[in-house]
A and B are shown apart, each in its own frame.
Chain A
Amino acid sequence: MTENEEFLKKMENLNVPEINPREHPKMVKMAILNADRSAALGVWLIILPCYFLCCVCMYYFFNAKAGWFGSMFALVTNLDKTRGLDLLAPFIFLIMPVVCIIINMLAIIHVGYRKIDPDNNRVRELNVTIKIKFWNIALILLSVAVLLAFLGFAMTESVSVKN
């Protein structure tokens, strides 16, 4: 048997992989940002509002007469030695949690939009994939909680000032 024949025989006996066209095509789902880096920065972005809220909680629990919003007012007054806190407050309590939410969302969410049927342009598919990364999800939830607390405080304060 010549080399050529041997090669042909080998090729004929090769196992051809079976392709199932119904199987969902595998695709690489790359997030826009790195999850670990986003989580590390997210901790720093959320640490100041959390410190402030912890101080408010301690003030609230150790002063029997103080209400929640009274505690917040008292803490803001106590922090008057921080220069420029009036200017920094919206940045620290609103913008930083929002940035934390955005960078952590970009690190765990993948959005894909594509045609399913090559013959029909109208049939399209939107895939939203969320990676289960504990720290990123925890930071997003914490940031949402912080935002809600400060927005609630701001709204209550503006209503009480009007009255």
Chain B
Amino acid sequence: MKLNWFTRKGIFYLPVSLIGWVLLLFAVAYAVYVFIDIDSHSHSVSDTLTNFVFNLLLIGVVYSIIGYFTEARKPKA
């Protein structure tokens, strides 16, 4: 089954379908929620950033794994 939800530009997966855009918006919204959540428990800016970047990369990894399996393949020349 081919799921053409994303297209790849370098190492980034860009959405090309409605489901792709929904997934991207969900990832961004979740990243914002995580930032607010971490910031409310942190004691310093570096504490917030260290934890947030880790979470942001984790979200990016999950998003990219989904993008890898649902990427629209270019036809072979």
Chain A interfacial positions (CB closer than 8 Å to B): 37, 39-41, 43-45, 47-48, 51-52, 55, 78-79, 81-82, 88, 92, 96
Residue picked from A40, A45, A78, most chain B C-beta under 10 Å? A40
In the complex, how many angstroms separate the beta carbon of A84 from the nearest chain B beta carbon?
A: 10
Contact assessment for B50 and A41 in the assembled complex, using a CB-CB cutoff below 8 Å: no
Residues in A neighbouring B38, C-beta threshold 8 A: 81
Residues in A neighbouring B50, C-beta threshold 8 A: 55, 78-79
Contact assessment for B41 and A44 in the assembled complex, using a CB-CB cutoff below 8 Å: no
Known: A37-B71, A40-B11. A47 touches B61 (CB 8 A): yes
Tally B residues with Cβ within 8 Å of A: 20
In the complex, how many angstroms separate the beta carbon of B39 from the nearest chain A beta carbon?
A: 10
Residues in A neighbouring B71, C-beta threshold 8 A: 37
Q: What are 29 A-B pairs with beta-carbon distances under 8 A? A: A37-B8, A37-B71, A40-B64, A41-B64, A43-B11, A44-B11, A44-B60, A44-B61, A44-B64, A44-B65, A47-B57, A47-B61, A48-B57, A48-B61, A51-B53, A51-B57, A52-B54, A55-B50, A78-B47, A78-B50, A79-B50, A79-B51, A79-B54, A81-B38, A81-B41, A82-B54, A82-B55, A82-B58, A96-B61
Contact assessment for B53 and A81 in the assembled complex, using a CB-CB cutoff below 8 Å: no
In the complex, how many angstroms separate the beta carbon of B67 from the nearest chain A beta carbon?
A: 9
Chain B interfacial positions (CB closer than 8 Å to A): 8, 10-11, 38, 41-42, 47, 50-51, 53-55, 57-58, 60-61, 64-65, 68, 71
Considering the chains assembled together, what is the distance between the CA atoms of A88 and B51 in angstroms?
14
In the complex, how many angstroms separate the beta carbon of B32 from the nearest chain A beta carbon?
A: 16
In the complex, how many angstroms separate the beta carbon of B33 from the nearest chain A beta carbon?
A: 12
Residues in B neighbouring A52, C-beta threshold 8 A: 54
Chain A: CB-nearest residue to B58: A48
Considering the chains assembled together, what is the distance between the CA atoms of A45 and B58 in angstroms?
9
Residues in A neighbouring B60, C-beta threshold 8 A: 44, 47
Q: Within the complex, which residue of A41, A43, A47, A48 is in contact with B65, where a contact is CB–CB below 8 Å?
A: A41
Contact assessment for B54 and A51 in the assembled complex, using a CB-CB cutoff below 8 Å: yes
In the complex, how many angstroms separate the beta carbon of B37 from the nearest chain A beta carbon?
A: 8
Contact assessment for A81 and B64 in the assembled complex, using a CB-CB cutoff below 8 Å: no
Contact assessment for B51 and A82 in the assembled complex, using a CB-CB cutoff below 8 Å: yes
Residues in B neighbouring A48, C-beta threshold 8 A: 54, 57-58, 61
